Structure 1
Amino acid sequence: MAAYQLAQQALAGEFAARWAEVLAAVEAREIAGSLTELEAEYAAAIRESAAASYGLSAAFYRLVRALETGRVIGGPGYRPNSSLGSLWADFNRASGKRTGSGPREELPVDTRNPFPTEDLAREARRAEETFRHEVAVRVEKHERERAGRGSAALDDAELVAWEKEFLESVKTGSTGAGGMLVQDGGRDMIHTALQDDPGAIGYFRVTDAGPCYFCALMAGRGAVYKSKRTAAFGAHPHCHCQAVPIFSRRYQLPAENGTFSRMWSDFGGGSLADWRTYYGKTTKT
């Protein structure tokens, strides 16, 4: 589970590094004329890492399911005569680390394919909308502000600092939102597969170290059973939470989830804003 989460986080990091390299090659005063090229680079970086996220999640889902049910599920990535050993090998390959191994006895097969087909058009639209909001809109606002500054010299210290702050805001916003889309490639796949897999019960949320108040609250719910159709997995920019599928009542929640659950109980109820304040104060003590 930890290896899966770290591998997904690493994919977001790979996207961030690639995008940072692209932005580093563009001067603030040139960015407005480079939006078309930048959008293409942004979408390509997201697409590549999101596809890897999808493949990693499929390997993780299939492995967890086999460990809990003793059966292997069909769909993308399925190989005939699969065993726990081969499923571990597939996951190790997808995560980039050797995290486990298993016996080579062939597993019974559930031929149903619960995995959704990657919706490339939807992914492209989401990348386009994200780029528009996090890059293009910021650039348009910056250009208007630049025009209002008049003909200040480009080597003016105040102007240099202003341009640097602008580029950093573009980088931070677009990287966080893009990283969310990358990991959503796998998160959406797992959430959809759970709904279409008769052998699945639900999922629980695992967080990274020091999660925000929202993620802590969601993790504190414990298991979310798939009969609760409205309880979709919610993520946000710079979020590295993941959904761990459940296939039996023998699941065990991470200790952190129990901690967040107790914190919510001690909180005693109130608005989300009240919880945010309470959580902030509690985690600082």
Structure 2
Amino acid sequence: MTTPAHIREAEEASAAFQLALAQIGVETTAEALELWESVNPARLAATAQQWLDRAVQLILTRRRQSRALAMAYYRLARALRTGRTVADPTLPSPRYVTLEVLRGEFRALAGVESDLPPDEVVEPSDEPEPEPGEPSEPIDEDRVPVEEIEDLRAEEERREREAEEEARLVLDALGPANIERQLEDLGDDRLEELSAREVDELREQAHAKAGARQAAAASRVARNGGRDLIKAAGDRDERVLGYVRLSRTGTPCGWCAMLLSRGFTPKSGPYRSQSSAGPTRQELVAGTAADVDRYHDNCNCYAEPVYSREQLNNSPLFALNRRYAQEWPRVTRGTSGRDALSVWRKYIRSQQD
């Protein structure tokens, strides 16, 4: 079913998905900064709660957008790589769908145009598949079978409940509570020595620093909606073997470069559900809760599903992973643990200067 042209299209779709997901993050950051202006650092108790409620709703709205984008990408990429797609659990789904329908869904959400000529549009069909053992024609690319992923809707809902709790915790810690900590660190004696104007200036500085932190966290949690969707679907998809972490920019931080160097991770490996990992408050605030969510603020990585050994060994998407996998043992030779990571980070910075 799949052809070299389909594989190239899947590679292009991956790049478009990463770019569109990053754009959601940029827009979320801008909206979070604008919303943050409603917080008065001199009247935190009176303004913080209303801001928090609105900020959480902003994140949940953007998460829905990133989930829809990820679902459209997953459906298209799976069809291009395996000849079969999956049902969107939020919508009624026919037994068959055309590649052009899947392309259209993804283009609309990613905001991209395709240079590939459109296929002849064939209406989705509810005609049943042949029973096992019955003769059947080769799969037509305009008649892609739709498969169900068990319990995906329930898993999405669970992750969204966790995300709302995470958003409230993280935004409060990095926003209003952050301002309070910055002022407390100065000490009452120091504040009493300053004029009212100087205290106001310190409050504004604390407000600006906290605003940047909470906006970056809002962007991360919003983009994690798409990352979570791909993870939740992949874990339950019998056709997915595992994942490879990708960097959109190609210039990851040292930590992410270390994770990229690990290459392929089977589904039974460290990619696991956040609930089973038991994230601490500190991990949630830092954005490193559970291995599946190892995305720090301003991180442009995501985990790409792998459907075959051929994809793993030959996909140009994984070129940076292969390079880092070769460089890691050479760069960190004679070191281990934190020392190895420190040496590696210095090396990555030197390569990007």
The two structures have a TM-score, normalised by structure 1, of 0.89
Q: Which residue of 1 aligns with 2:145?
A: 108
Q: Secondary structure at the match of 1:175?
A: helix
Does 1:215 pair with 2:215? no
Residues 191-210 of structure 1 mapped to structure 2, 5 A cutoff: 191-209=231-249, 210=251
- Quote the RMSD (CA, aligned, Å): 2.4
Tell me if structure 2 keeps the 8 A contact 1:74–1:113. Answer: no
Q: Which residue of 2 aligns with 1:162?
A: 202
Tell me if structure 2 keeps the 8 A contact 1:64–1:245. Answer: no
Identical columns (%): 23
How far apart, CA to CA, are the structure 2 residues paired with 1:282 and 1:205?
17
Please state how far the C-alpha of 1:53 moved relative to its aligned partner. 1.0
Tell me if structure 1 keeps the 8 A contact 2:179–2:203. Answer: no
Residues 141-160 of structure 1 mapped to structure 2, 5 A cutoff: 141-142=181-182, 144=184, 145=186, 147-148=188-189, 149-150=191-192, 152-156=194-198, 159=199
Please state how far the C-alpha of 1:282 moved relative to its aligned partner. 4.4
Q: Which 5+ residue runs of structure 2 have no aligned equivalent?
A: 1-13, 122-141, 273-290
Query: Out of 172, 178, 201, which is 2:212 matched to?
Result: 172
Deviations 1:152-203 (A, max 9, x none): 43433xx454233212221122122222211111111211211111111111
Q: Which 5+ residue runs of structure 1 have no aligned equivalent?
A: none
Aligned length: 283
How far apart, CA to CA, are the structure 2 residues paired with 1:282 and 1:215?
10
Residues 1-285 of structure 1 mapped to structure 2, 5 A cutoff: 1-76=14-89, 77=91, 79-80=93-94, 81-99=96-114, 103=119, 104=121, 105-113=142-150, 115=152, 116-119=155-158, 120-142=160-182, 144=184, 145=186, 147-148=188-189, 149-150=191-192, 152-156=194-198, 159=199, 161-209=201-249, 210-229=251-270, 232-233=291-292, 234-251=294-311, 252=315, 253-267=317-331, 268=333, 269-285=335-351
The code of the aligned residue for 1:263 comes to E
The 10-residue stretch of structure 1 (55-64 or 131-140) with the greater mean CA deviation from structure 2: 131-140
Larger radius of gyration: 2
The two structures have a TM-score, normalised by structure 2, of 0.73
How far apart, CA to CA, are the structure 1 residues paired with 2:172 and 2:163?
14
The code of the aligned residue for 2:308 comes to S
Tell me if structure 2 keeps the 8 A contact 1:88–1:100. Answer: no
How far apart, CA to CA, are the structure 2 residues paired with 1:236 and 1:78?
35
Tell me if structure 1 keeps the 8 A contact 2:86–2:148. Answer: yes
Relative distance call for 1:200 and 1:191 in structure 2 (3 A) is same
The 10-residue stretch of structure 1 (268-277 or 216-225) with the greater mean CA deviation from structure 2: 268-277
The code of the aligned residue for 1:255 comes to A
